[in-house]
């Protein structure tokens, strides 16, 4: 995104990087939510972790909830770092109102709900 700083969106005054960053952040939530969790589940099925989790009462539910929290937390950390760097390096990107932060938060939650499995 930083290499797009000098280019502007046609007809506007803000940079192309500022326009592309929200799409990048949304894609990172969706892709990481779907791919990371499914890859971890397949990997831990092969090494026997899921079989050991079945042996404990409510082990599978606890395992799945723990994995969802772990993946979401790691993804949220990467999201926050990328957003912080984008706010510093890209002109025209501002989150200086409460409604902007509320929008960011509901998009993050919606992305997690759509990409991470429900633990029912």
Task: Record the pTM.
Answer: 0.69
8-25 pLDDT per residue, tens? 667 777 777 777 788 888
pLDDT at residue 81 is higher than 80: yes
- Give the E-state strand segments of 9-102 in sequence order: none
User: Could you write out the DSSP letters of every residue in 83-117?
Assistant: HHHHHHHSTT----SHHHHHHHHHHHHHHHHHHSP
Contact, 108 vs 79, CB < 8 A?
yes
Q: Tokens 């979401």 identify what position?
A: 72
Judge contact between 61 and 119, C-beta under 8 A.
yes
In the predicted model, what is the mean pLDDT of residues 92-104?
A: 81
| Contact status, residue 71 vs residue 38, Cβ threshold 8 Å | no
Q: Within 10 A of 85 (CB to CB), how many other CB atoms are there?
A: 13
Residue 118 carries which DSSP code? P
pLDDT for the residue 67: 82
Instruction: Collapse the DSSP code of 35 into the 3-class scheme (helix H, G, I; strand E, B; otherwise coil) and give the result.
Output: helix
């Amino acid at each position: 995104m930083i290499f797009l700083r000098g280019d502007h969106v046609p007809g506007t005054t803000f940079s192309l990087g500022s326009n592309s960053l929200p799409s990048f952040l949304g894609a990172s939530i969706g892709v990481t939510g779907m791919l990371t969790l499914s890859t971890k589940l397949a990997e831990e099925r092969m090494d026997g972790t899921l079989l050991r989790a079945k042996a404990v009462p409510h082990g599978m539910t606890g395992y799945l909830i723990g994995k969802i929290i772990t993946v979401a937390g790691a993804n949220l950390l990467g999201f926050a770092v990328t957003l912080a760097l984008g706010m510093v390096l890209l002109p025209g990107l501002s989150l200086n109102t409460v409604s902007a932060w509320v929008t960011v938060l509901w998009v993050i939650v919606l992305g997690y709900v759509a990409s991470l499995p429900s633990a029912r």
